[in-house]
Structures are given as C-alpha cells and as structure tokens.
Structure 1
Amino acid sequence: MRNMLVDTGKGIAIILMCIGHAYCPDALFYFIYMFHMAFFFMMSGYFFSDKNLDNPKAFIWKRITGLWVPFVKWGLIFVLLHNIFLKLQLLPPPYENNVYSIREAMWKGLTTIPRFIPTEDMMGPYWFLSCFVFYKYFELGYF
C-alpha cells in the first residue's frame, strides 16, 4: 500500500524544485535549495530494502540498467546532435563556435559520457543521475 504522506512529500519537493529553477525571490531560492535535493536522497534511503543486501549483484545491475544506460544513451544522442543544435542556435553562447569534429564527438562519446561526465549543455539536468548512482553504491556499502 502506498504511503500518502511520502507521496505528498515527494510532490511538494518536486513543486519546490520547479519553483527553485524558475525565477523566484532570492530568499525563497536559498530556502528551497537548503533541502529539496537532500529530500530526494533521503526518500531513496527510506525505501532501501534489506533484500538488496542479499543480492548486491542484482542491485548493481538494476542501477546500471536503470540509471547508467539512460545517461549514456542520452549523452550519446546529445553529442551526435551537437552540431545540428549548434546550427539551429539551440545552444548557449559558450558553444556558439564549437563545432565537433568526428574525432572529438567520438572521444566524448567513448570516454567522458560512460564515466558519468555530462559534456553537453543539454545534459545539465543529468548531474543528478551521476550523484544518485554513486549515492546508491555508497548506500549498498554502508548497510
């Protein structure tokens, strides 16, 4: 059975995250950023099950397929589309004259993306996935 209190808390945290990323007064911004991301990590720990300790390989595999694979997939897509986004002027000024050669795109796709390093501006929100994966491995080792 779902815990409505937890669902409500997660919903409020998501709304606060949206407010924090939108324009809001500084006092509200700093208040929200004191806890909103930590709340998501705490909820993840709250739902950590002892069954993960019985089968750590399955736990790690689930994290690889559920977090690392999407990160790499979207990272590769963004690297491959970088020059198109550049031509369409969808990238911010620091990238305006940074056309990737095939070699540079391959380097990013094969070396940085698989190591959870978001190289593309479009991957900005993906920082949370890399932090979350390392947190989950820490959580497994801690318990």
Structure 2
Amino acid sequence: MKSMIGLTLGLGMSFLVNAQTIPTLAKVYSGNTVETSINASQKNPKVQNQTIVATLTILKQDGQHVEFMYQNPSYKAYEIGTISADGKKLQISYKGGFGVYDITGNKLVGCGSGRASEGPFSQWINTYYAWCDDLTAK
C-alpha cells in the first residue's frame, strides 16, 4: 500500500512539473520567411528563392495543443501544432506539409517543407517547397 501511495504521488508530481514547462505562447509573432520552391516539371523546371514578411497569430492554445493562422502577402493558412513536453519545440502540421519551431523567449525560429496543393492543377502538381521562419512576438 505504501508503494502505491508513493507511485501515485510521484506520478502526480511528475504531471505538475511537466505542466509548468509548457509556455503560453504570445498572441502574434511576425518576421521573415525564407522560402525555396521548385516546380519539378520535366518540361520547364524552375527554382525560386524569396524572403517575405510573415505573421503567425495564435488563435487558441490548450496546454500543449495550439491552433494558429500563418499569413504572408500571398498565402494564408490555418494550422495546428503541439508543444513538446519540455516546452522548447513547437511541431506543426498543415495541408501539404510540416515543420518544427524552437521556442526561445519571445521568438519562434524553425523550418519545414511541403508540397503545394492549391491553385490551378498545372501550377502545383510538381511543386515542392522548403521554408525557414524567424518570428518575434509583438
């Protein structure tokens, strides 16, 4: 019986410690996205590099689970993510891709990749991209 009480208390304390490491993210982050995309069409392959201004707005955070909107001048998407148990990473998923941010103070810095999945069929059928964000809370 003593060991069962100890185990229960230990697990309860473990949950309390882990719950304290999950940061509450700021409402709005903004900064730059560096993006490389390739249209891998055999007839007309094209690589494009660009740096664009972007905003990430947290819509809802429930502990480790995050819903947000990412927006730049030509793209707007609703995405989801999960904060790691140690509170240092935010793994995200969105239509066509995924990525990981490091959470450091008021900054989200990370990279990901995906496949275009919107617009005219001929424009996205063979288009892939990789991106890196450097975003700071306002």
* Shorter-chain TM band: under 0.3
The two structures have a TM-score, normalised by structure 1, of 0.27
Going by fraction, where is helix more abundant, 1 or 2?
1
The two structures have a TM-score, normalised by structure 2, of 0.27
* Larger radius of gyration between Structure 1 and Structure 2: 2
